[in-house]
Structure 1
Amino acid sequence: MTSYNLAILLTHSAEQYPEREAIVFPATGRRMTYAEVDTVSNMVAGYLVGQGIQPGDKVALSCPNLPYFSLVYWGILKAGATVVPLNVLLKGREVTYHLQDSDAKAYFCFEGTPELPIGQEGYAGFQGADGCETFVVITAGLDGASPFEGVPTFAETLGGQDGTFETVATDEDDTAVILYTSGTTGQPKGAELRHRNMRDNAQLGEALFGADAEKPDTFLCVLPLFHSFGQTVIQNGAAAYGGTVVMLPRFEAGAALQLVQSEGITYFAGVPTMYWGLLGALKEAGDSVDVKKISDTLRVAAAGGSALPVEVHKNFREQFGVTILEGYGLSETSPVASFSPYGEEPRVGSIGRPVPGVEMKLIDPESWDEVEWSEDAVGEIAIKGHNIMKGYYGRPEATEEAIQDGWFRSGDLGRRDADGWYYIVDRSKDMIIRGGYNVYPREIEEVLMSHPDVSLAAVIGVPHESHGEEVKAFVILEDGATITEDELVAWGKEQMAGYKYPRVVEFVPNLPMTATGKILKRELS
C-alpha cells in the first residue's frame, strides 16, 4: 500500500502558501496563516506522542467551530492517530458511550459556555469511560484557567513543544477518522474512514466547482466541523487548495449574512434550513446588506443534508443571483457521493450525478439485485468508489450488512432520470432529519422508555417550517402515571442532546400494530 497521511493537505499548503490566511475567526478578530496552523498542530502532535499515543490510537475531540478544532484535528493526524470528532451537544452518558465504543485513549474537549456546558458533559463522560487516560480542556482564551482540578488546558499542553514535528507515516488504508452515525439498531456506530477516503473527497473541489489554488476560495464555515459535511467539504476541502475558512461557531442567519458580505465569501455550504434562514435575514437586514456585492463575490452555494425546497431554491437565486447546487452523501461515504455539476443548469429536486470515481445504482433492498431502469423505477441507492468507508468500527456484522462487493447500501430510496441524475424519493430507514442533524427514532424511544412512567413509545418526524422535521413521540403511560406531556419533554431535554429530544409528546391509549407486534409508524402523524 501507499504511505499517506491526510495531514499532508495542511503541510503542503503551509509549504506553498505559508503567509496565506488559513483560518479567520471574526468573533475575536483572530486570523491564522497556514504557517501558524501548521506550527500549532505540530505542537499538538508532539504532546500526544509524549503522552504515549501510538499510531492508530483513537483521540476524541469535542469542539464547536473554533480554530482549536482544526489545530487539534491536524495534530492528531500528524501523530499518526485517528480523530474521533464528537457532537458538542452530547450529554455525559452519551460521551461515555462514544469514548468507550471507539477505544479512545485521549480526549480534547472545549470548556463550553453556561448555555452549552460542553466541558462539564465531556468531563463527566470521560470520568465514566474505561481506557481513556488523557483529558485536555480547551479554554476559550489561551490564558484561561482549567475549570477542572488537575486537568491540563490546551495552552498548557503546548508548553515545551518547539513547533517542529515530522508527521508519522501512515498507510492510505489506515483509519484517519471515525465518524459516528446510527442505523436502524439505534445505537451510534463509528464509520471508519481511511486517509485515502478523506483525501479523495477533499480533492474533488477542482472537478466539482473549479477549485484553484492560485485563486483560492474563502469558505464560510457554519456547518459543524464534527460532522462529515463541514469537516470534509469546508475544512479539508479548503486545505487541499490553500483556501481560507471563516468560522462561525453557531449558525445565526443575520451574522452569517453579514460575514458573507464583509469577508468576501466565495463558497457557502449549508443545509436547506440555513438557506431558508439567510433569505429571512435578508428581509430583516434591509439596506445594511449589499446584495450586489454578495452576488459578485459568492460563486458557489452548495446544499445537502436533506431535500432543498423548490421555493427556497428559486428565491435564493432571485435574491442573490446564485444557483444552489445540491449534493448527496453520508458519513459512510466521506461524505460526498453525488453533486450537481458546476456550470450546468441544475435540475431542481435532484441530488446530481455521481462524483468522479464513484458509481451509483438502484437496488432491490431485499435481494441487492439492480433495479431495471425506467423513469419511474424506484430502488435503494447503492454507492461504490473511493469514498466508501472501511466499515463500522468493531462491528463486522453491521459492516457486512451495509457493504457487499464494494457496494454500500445507503438506506435511501431514489430514482434516476435518463441522463443519470438522481432524485431522493424516500428514506427506507426511519431516520429523522431535524435542522440537518440525523435523529434515530429507536435511540430516542429507548431513552423515553427508561422513564418509570413510560410504558411504550414510538417516535416519528413531523413536518416543521424551519427545521424540516420535528421529533414527535407517541407515548403509552404506565397505569397510575402522573407525568404531563410538558414534563416528559423537559425530562427528555435533560437526557438527550439538544437536537434529539422530542419537542412534541402525545399521550395515547394504544399504538397501531401489525399482527406480529410491529408498530405501524406510517399510521402516526
Structure 2
Amino acid sequence: MEAKPWLSQYPPEIPAHLEIQEATVQDYLKRTSEKYPEKVAIHFMGKELTYKQVYNYAKKLAAYLQELGIEKGDRVAIMLPNTPQSIISYYAILMAGGIVVQTNPQYMERELEYQMKDSGAKAIITLDILFPRVSKIIAKTNLENIIVTAIKDYLPFPKNLVYPYIQKKQYGLIVNVKHEGQNHLFTEIMKKPAGKWKQYELDFEEDMAVLQYTGGTTGFPKGVMLTHKNLIANAAMSNAWLYKCKEGEETVLAILPFFHVYGMTAVLILSVMQGQKMVLLPKFDAETTLKTIEKQKPTLFPGAPTIYIGLLNHPDIKKYDLSSIDSCISGSAPLPVEVQERFEEVTGGKLVEGYGLTESSPVTHANFLWDKKRVKGSIGVPWPDTDAAIFSLETGEPLPPGEIGELAVKGPQVMKGYWNRQEETEQVLKDGWLLTGDLGYMDEEGYFYIVDRKKDMIIAGGFNIYPREIEEVLYEHPAVQEVVAAGIPDPYRGETVKVYVVLKEGKEASEEELNEYSRKHLAAYKVPRLYEFRKELPKTAVGKILRRALVDEEKAKIEDHQKRA
C-alpha cells in the first residue's frame, strides 16, 4: 500500500486488480450480438442498426476482405469519420485477421502517403469525397484496393436522397466511383450474399489489433503497436471506473472520433463490450450536439476540453435540456477547472479529468466520478492494474511525493512498441515502464498532477515555467474562451512567454487588461510578455491545441526577419 498510496483512495466498488478474459476485440462484438441481438447499437442521424445487424455486416465485409487477399497480420486502413461504416469496417478488418490502421479523414496527400507507406497497408476504406485524395497516392504505396462508401449510404429516407446535394454545396464535388478493378463500393459488398471467412487463431497478448499513429506534434507520426490485450484491458479498466453504469442500458454520445485512440477505446470498444447504444456524430458542431443531447438523451459523454468549451460558449445553451448527462471523462488535453465547474453546473452531471496517451491505449489515470474525493487540477489516480511513478530528470530515480519529474506508467495497456522503430521504442520503454514525456508530481494521497510536457516547458532567464499554470489563470478571466501559452525564442532570456488568446463572442479584453490580471495571479517571471488575439487556434482532430505549431510559426517569422535583415 505504501508503494501505491492511491489504492487507499479507491471506493469499494473499484477493484485494484481485474480478471481480464483472453478474448479478442472482435470476440466482444460476437458476444454482444448474441446477448443483445435486437438492441440498438448505432444511432446515426435518424438511422438505427442493431447489434445483430452490425455483426452480420462486419462478417460480410470480413469475408470480402479475405477474397481481396487480406491475410492474418495485413494492415488495412480506415479513413472515415464516425459513421456506421467506420464501426462495421473496424470489426470486419479484425475478423478477417487484419490489423486496423486508423487514418484521419483530414489528412492531405503528403500525410496520407507517409502513413500508408510506413504502415504498409494493403487496402483502405474511405469516403467518396476523399477518393480523389487516395487515388493520387495509391501508386506510391502498397495499397492494392480502395473500398469506397458515402455518408448517404447509412442515412434514413429522405435524408439519403437530399444529402448528395448538401455535400455538393459544401465540398463542391460529387464523386462517382464504379465497382470495378481495384475500386470497390461498400453498398455493392453489402448486397452480396455472405461469403465464407476463415477465422484465425490469435495470440491475445502478442498479436496486434491496431497500428495507431501518434499525432505527430513532435516530428513524424509513429505507429504505436496495440495488442488485443492492450485494448481489452483498457476498456475493462474504463468499465470498472464507471461502476454505476449498467450493461446494455447506457447511451453514449460518440463525438470523439474513432480514429483517435481515446474515442476508439473509451467509446467504440467499451460500448460494444457493454452493449451500449452509440449516438454517432461525424463532426463537432455545438448546436447539432446540443440538439442531439436533448433528443437522444445520452448518459455518457466522453470528450475533450475544447468540446465542452464549445458547448458552454454557445449563446443558446440554456434553451436545451442536458440533464440526461450523468458521466463525462475528459481526455486528450488538460481540463481547465473553470470549464469543469461550469459544465457540471449546466448539466447536473459529473465531469472529471483523465489522462492517457496513445502508447497506453490510452487511459492510465482519472479522477473518481462518484462518492470519492475529486481533486481539481489533478489527473486523478492510476486505474486498476496500473502503476505510476515520478522519475528524476537528472538521476532517473523515483522521486518522493511533491517533487516534479517525468511521469512513468506501467500496466497491461502499455503498447508493444513503435512500428519498425526499435531505437525509439527503447528510449521510452524501460524495464516495463513507459516514459510519458510529461512532467508532473504525486501528492501524499496518490493523486497525480501534470505540470507540462517535458518538451513544452519554457526556460526563461533560467526559470522553469509551465504553460499549463499560465493557461489555468487566464481561463479564469471572464472574457477568455481559449488560451495557449508557449515559449518563443528570446535573445536575452533564452525564451519568453507568449500567449495566444481567443475571446468569447461579444466579450472584449485588451493586452493591458490581461497583463494586469496575470500579474495579480502569477509570479513576475511567469507573466506573459507577449499577447496575440486570434479568432481560432490550430488543433488536432480531437481538439487538442497544437502549441508546437504556434512555436514553429514564431521561429519561421524570426528566420524570415533575419534573412531580410
- TM-score band by shorter chain is 0.7 to 0.9
In structure 2, what is the Cα distance between the partners aligned to 1:211 and 1:176?
29
Q: Is the 8 A contact 2:128 2:177 kept in 1?
A: no
**Deviations for 1:470-496, whole angstroms, at most 9, x for unmatched residues?**
xxxxxxxxxxxxxxxxxxxxxx99xxx
In structure 2, what is the Cα distance between the partners aligned to 1:307 and 1:47?
42
Name the residue aligned to 1:308. Answer: 335
The answer to whether structure 1 residue 197 and structure 2 residue 234 are counterparts is no
SS of 2:365 mapped into structure 1: strand
Q: CA deviation at 1:146?
A: 6.4
Q: Is the 8 A contact 1:56 1:80 kept in 2?
A: yes
**Which of the numbers 73, 89, 94 marks the counterpart of 1:77?**
94
SS of 1:226 mapped into structure 2: coil
% identical aligned pairs: 34
SS of 2:222 mapped into structure 1: strand
**Which of the numbers 184, 192, 209 marks the counterpart of 2:242?**
209
**Which of the numbers 101, 104, 125 marks the counterpart of 2:137?**
125
Q: Which amino acid aligns with 1:307?
A: P
**Which of the numbers 383, 388, 405 marks the counterpart of 2:431?**
405
Q: How does 1:123-522 map to 2 (within 5 A)?
A: 123-129=135-141, 131-142=142-153, 147-148=176-177, 150=180, 151-162=183-194, 165=197, 167-172=199-204, 173-181=206-214, 186-210=219-243, 212=245, 214-281=247-314, 283-287=315-319, 289-290=320-321, 294-295=322-323, 297-343=324-370, 344-365=372-393, 367-371=395-399, 373-375=400-402, 377-430=403-456, 462-465=499-502, 505=553, 508-509=557-558
Q: Is the 8 A contact 1:39 1:164 kept in 2?
A: no
CA RMSD of aligned residues (A): 3.2
Q: Which amino acid aligns with 2:365?
A: S
Using structure 1 for the length normalisation, give the TM-score: 0.78
Q: Which amino acid aligns with 1:36?
A: Q
Q: Is the 8 A contact 1:22 1:243 kept in 2?
A: yes
The answer to whether structure 1 residue 63 and structure 2 residue 89 are counterparts is no
Name the residue aligned to 2:113. Answer: 96
In structure 2, what is the Cα distance between the partners aligned to 1:305 and 1:213?
26
Q: Which amino acid aligns with 2:228?
A: H
In structure 2, what is the Cα distance between the partners aligned to 1:105 and 1:365?
42
Q: Is the 8 A contact 1:4 1:170 kept in 2?
A: no
**Which of the numbers 42, 46, 59 marks the counterpart of 1:23?**
42
Q: Is the 8 A contact 2:211 2:224 kept in 1?
A: yes
In structure 2, what is the Cα distance between the partners aligned to 1:499 and 1:121?
26
Name the residue aligned to 2:521. Answer: none
The answer to whether structure 1 residue 7 and structure 2 residue 36 are counterparts is no
**Deviations for 1:437-495, whole angstroms, at most 9, x for unmatched residues?**
xx9x9xxxxxxxxxxxxxxxx9x99544389xxxxxxxxxxxxxxxxxxxxxxxx99xx
Q: CA deviation at 1:205?
A: 3.4
In structure 2, what is the Cα distance between the partners aligned to 1:351 and 1:412?
12
Pair 5,146 (structure 1): closer, same or farther in 2 beyond 3 Å: farther
Q: How does 1:40-51 map to 2 (within 5 A)?
A: 40-51=57-68
In structure 2, what is the Cα distance between the partners aligned to 1:72 and 1:55?
16
Q: CA deviation at 1:201?
A: 1.0
Q: Which amino acid aligns with 2:348?
A: G
Pair 185,222 (structure 1): closer, same or farther in 2 beyond 3 Å: closer
SS of 2:229 mapped into structure 1: helix
Compare 167-176 and 396-405 and name the one that shifted more. 167-176
Pair 323,241 (structure 1): closer, same or farther in 2 beyond 3 Å: same
* Unmatched 5+ stretches in structure 2: 1-20, 154-159, 165-173, 458-466, 472-483, 487-494, 505-537
* Unmatched 5+ stretches in structure 1: 113-117, 442-457, 468-491, 514-525
Q: Is the 8 A contact 1:197 1:388 kept in 2?
A: yes
Q: Which amino acid aligns with 1:394?
A: N
SS of 1:204 mapped into structure 2: helix
SS of 2:184 mapped into structure 1: coil
In structure 1, what is the Cα distance between the partners aligned to 2:190 and 2:71?
19
Q: Which amino acid aligns with 2:95?
A: K
**Deviations for 1:224-257, whole angstroms, at most 9, x for unmatched residues?**
1100011100111101100011001111112111
Q: Is the 8 A contact 2:350 2:369 kept in 1?
A: no
Q: Which amino acid aligns with 2:360?
A: T
SS of 1:269 mapped into structure 2: coil
**Deviations for 1:377-414, whole angstroms, at most 9, x for unmatched residues?**
00111010011000000111111111011100000001
Q: CA deviation at 1:186?
A: 0.5
Name the residue aligned to 1:473. Answer: none
Pair 11,428 (structure 1): closer, same or farther in 2 beyond 3 Å: same
Q: Is the 8 A contact 1:13 1:240 kept in 2?
A: yes
Pair 213,301 (structure 1): closer, same or farther in 2 beyond 3 Å: closer
Q: Which amino acid aligns with 1:49?
A: Q
Q: CA deviation at 1:136?
A: 1.3
Pair 250,333 (structure 1): closer, same or farther in 2 beyond 3 Å: same
Q: Is the 8 A contact 1:5 1:169 kept in 2?
A: no
Q: Which amino acid aligns with 1:21?
A: V
SS of 2:415 mapped into structure 1: coil
Name the residue aligned to 1:444. Answer: none
Name the residue aligned to 1:38. Answer: 55
In structure 2, what is the Cα distance between the partners aligned to 1:186 and 1:305?
18
Pair 183,136 (structure 1): closer, same or farther in 2 beyond 3 Å: closer
Q: Which amino acid aligns with 1:360?
A: A
Q: Which has the higher helix share?
A: 2
Q: Is the 8 A contact 1:47 1:158 kept in 2?
A: no
Pair 275,411 (structure 1): closer, same or farther in 2 beyond 3 Å: same
In structure 1, what is the Cα distance between the partners aligned to 2:35 and 2:266?
21
In structure 1, what is the Cα distance between the partners aligned to 2:544 and 2:341?
31
**Deviations for 1:411-431, whole angstroms, at most 9, x for unmatched residues?**
000111111111110111249
Q: Which amino acid aligns with 1:271?
A: A
In structure 1, what is the Cα distance between the partners aligned to 2:35 and 2:503?
42
Compare 299-308 and 360-369 and name the one that shifted more. 360-369
Pair 278,48 (structure 1): closer, same or farther in 2 beyond 3 Å: same
Q: Which amino acid aligns with 2:75?
A: K
Name the residue aligned to 1:448. Answer: none
SS of 2:151 mapped into structure 1: coil
Q: CA deviation at 1:77?
A: 0.5
Q: CA deviation at 1:304?
A: 1.1
